[in-house]
């Protein structure tokens, strides 16, 4: 059995940032990532102004992610539209680009990264690999995103009509540039919503959160998109620009609203393994990056025993963003309330800016 003082499982934003901070502090560690090459995980890819400031502070310039800012929010409910300016410019980036840049920075700083290492399960602070070997650690940083690890799964109570994540890529094409442009779009419909934003390669990332009942009623993801195109004409206008051969990516049972209220000694939960904010808030990436920073900082200061305090503080700090995002989600998924929500933003755009502020996690102050 191999041993390491600190083991990070998962090379997404949360795990990569934790590895970067440990490497810069010259703290012994190992990051294992199941993929040999970085893919494009199912993710909205939205980075708020606060998250961009944090990335700049740890040496990731925003221009390396996407040179095109997102300036405005546009909300659609049926045939109703509202628009508001974001508090500060944000951007959207593919997970392929972001994960590659963060892992490269960690490796350049001296991070110990092993790729193509599949973890099959965990027990305590020991993980078991697909090749039947094991790695034991004094501190385990669990950063596997929405995918649970057997033996260390999130203690989530399953909903009777759970949320599914769906993603399709649109374009690139001039028509999408004109339709979406420098905005983040939010399309609200019965039992779900879709977020659209243009990424660094010119494609528009269309990520949806829908309840399983909607997919069951439609019969298939393609049939669901067809139904939504009729129900939400402006979303249909954008979906019509999808490449017919483009895959529809999906992930089941996303526990939106869940937070890890406690943990075991030495076990640091990061990113979606720590908290899963409703995706319409656009703060999932911010939480992942911030949790990686906070977990690494706590470990460097107080060692493995810092895990419980770290988890409790993170959960407490997310109470307000989760409460507000959850209330907005509940309204957004009901057509009558979604229309009212859109009307409120149209009449008072400052409400959207206030909500955008209140659904951000507070980020750590860092020296550049």
> Please, are residues 278 and 209 in contact by the beta-carbon 8 Å criterion?
yes
Angle (nearest 5°) at CA 38 between 185 and 109: 105
Query: How crowded is residue 163: how many other Cβ atoms within 10 Å of its Cβ?
Result: 24
Residue-level pLDDT at 244: 72
Determine the Cα–Cα distance for residues 132 and 9; give it in Å rounded to an integer: 16
Residue-level pLDDT at 209: 97
Residue-level pLDDT at 93: 97
Helix (H) or strand (E) holding 72: strand 70-77
Residue-level pLDDT at 367: 47
Alpha-carbon 191 to chain mean position: 20
> Please, are residues 364 and 297 in contact by the beta-carbon 8 Å criterion?
yes
Per residue in 280-301, pLDDT (tens digit) is 999 999 999 999 999 999 999 9
- Convert 105-139 to b/e letters by CB count within 10 Å (16 or more is b): bbbebebbbeeebebeebeebbbbbeeeebbebbb
Alpha-carbon 275 to chain mean position: 10
Residue-level pLDDT at 366: 62
- Retrieve residue 130's tokens: 């697909």
Percent over 70 (pLDDT), the chain:
99
Angle (nearest 5°) at CA 32 between 256 and 64: 70
- Convert 39-77 to b/e letters by CB count within 10 Å (16 or more is b): ebbbbbbbbbbbbbebbeebebebeebbebbbebbbbbb
Q: How many helices (H) and strands (E) does the chain have?
A: 12, 17
Give 2-157+255-358's CATH code, choosing from 3.40.50.1970, 3.50.50.60, 3.90.1150.10, 2.40.360.20.
3.50.50.60
Determine the Cα–Cα distance for residues 90 and 359; give it in Å rounded to an integer: 14
The 192-198 sheet, strands edge to edge = 46-47, 80-92, 70-77, 183-189, 192-198, 204-211, 163-170, 249-254
Residue-level pLDDT at 363: 83
Residue-level pLDDT at 159: 83
How large is the average pLDDT for residues 28-34? Answer: 97
Residue-level pLDDT at 368: 37
Confidence bin at 180 (pLDDT 50/70/90): very high
What does pLDDT average to over the chain? 95
| CA diameter of the chain | 63
> Please, are residues 11 and 103 in contact by the beta-carbon 8 Å criterion?
yes
Per residue in 299-326, pLDDT (tens digit) is 999 999 999 999 999 999 999 999 999 9
> Please, are residues 257 and 278 in contact by the beta-carbon 8 Å criterion?
yes
Residue 156, phi then psi, degrees to nearest 5: -100, 135
Determine the Cα–Cα distance for residues 49 and 28; give it in Å rounded to an integer: 32
Per residue in 208-261, pLDDT (tens digit) is 999 999 999 999 999 999 999 999 999 999 999 987 778 899 999 999 999 999
Residue-level pLDDT at 245: 73
Q: Which of 321, 300, 266 is nearest to 137 (CA)?
A: 266
In this predicted structure, the answer to whether residue 191 has a pLDDT above a threshold of 70 is yes
Query: 26 preceded by cis ω (within 30°)?
Result: no
Residue-level pLDDT at 253: 92
Could you tell me where the beta strands, DSSP code E, fall in 181-246? 183-189, 192-198, 204-211
Residue-level pLDDT at 365: 67
Through-space distance between the first and last CA atoms of the chain, rounded to whole angstroms: 38
In this predicted structure, the answer to whether residue 158 has a pLDDT above a threshold of 60 is yes
* CB-based contacts of 189, cutoff 8 Å, min separation 6: 77, 78, 228, 231, 232, 235, 335, 338
């Amino acid at each position: 059995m191999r041993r390491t003082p600190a083991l990070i499982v998962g090379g997404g934003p949360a795990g990569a940032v934790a590895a970067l901070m440990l490497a810069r502090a010259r703290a012994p560690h190992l990051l294992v990532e199941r993929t040999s090459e970085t893919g494009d995980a199912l993710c909205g890819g939205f980075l708020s102004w606060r998250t961009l400031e944090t990335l700049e502070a740890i040496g990731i310039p925003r221009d390396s992610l996407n040179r095109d800012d997102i300036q405005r929010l546009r909300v659609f409910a049926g045939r109703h539209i509202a628009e508001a300016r974001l508090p500060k410019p944000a951007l959207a980036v593919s997970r392929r680009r972001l994960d590659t840049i963060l892992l490269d920075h960690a490796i350049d700083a001296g991070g110990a990264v092993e790729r193509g290492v599949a973890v099959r399960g965990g027990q305590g602070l020991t993980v078991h690999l697909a090749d039947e070997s094991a790695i034991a650690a004094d501190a385990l940083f669990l950063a596997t995103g929405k995918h649970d690890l057997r033996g260390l799964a999130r203690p989530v109570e399953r909903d009777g009509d759970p949320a599914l994540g769906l993603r399709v890529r649109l374009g690139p094409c001039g028509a999408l540039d004109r339709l979406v442009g420098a905005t983040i779009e939010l399309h609200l419909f019965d039992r779900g919503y879709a977020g659209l934003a243009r990424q660094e390669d010119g494609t528009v990332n269309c990520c949806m959160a829908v309840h399983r009942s909607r997919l069951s009623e439609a019969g298939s993801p393609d049939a669901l998109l067809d139904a939504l195109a009729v129900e939400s004409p402006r979303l249909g206008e954008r979906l019509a620009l999808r490449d017919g051969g483009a895959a529809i990516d999906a992930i089941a049972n996303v526990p939106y609203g869940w937070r890890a209220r406690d943990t075991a000694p030495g076990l640091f939960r990061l990113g979606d393994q720590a908290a899963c904010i409703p995706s319409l808030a656009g703060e999932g990436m911010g939480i992942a990056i911030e949790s990686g920073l906070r977990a690494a900082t706590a470990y460097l200061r107080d060692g493995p025993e810092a895990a419980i305090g770290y988890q409790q503080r993170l959960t407490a700090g997310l109470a307000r963003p989760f409460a507000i995002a959850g209330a907005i989600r509940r309204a957004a998924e009901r057509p009558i309330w979604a229309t009212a929500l859109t009307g409120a933003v149209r009449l008072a755009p400052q409400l959207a800016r206030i909500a955008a502020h209140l659904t951000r996690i507070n980020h750590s102050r860092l020296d550049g």
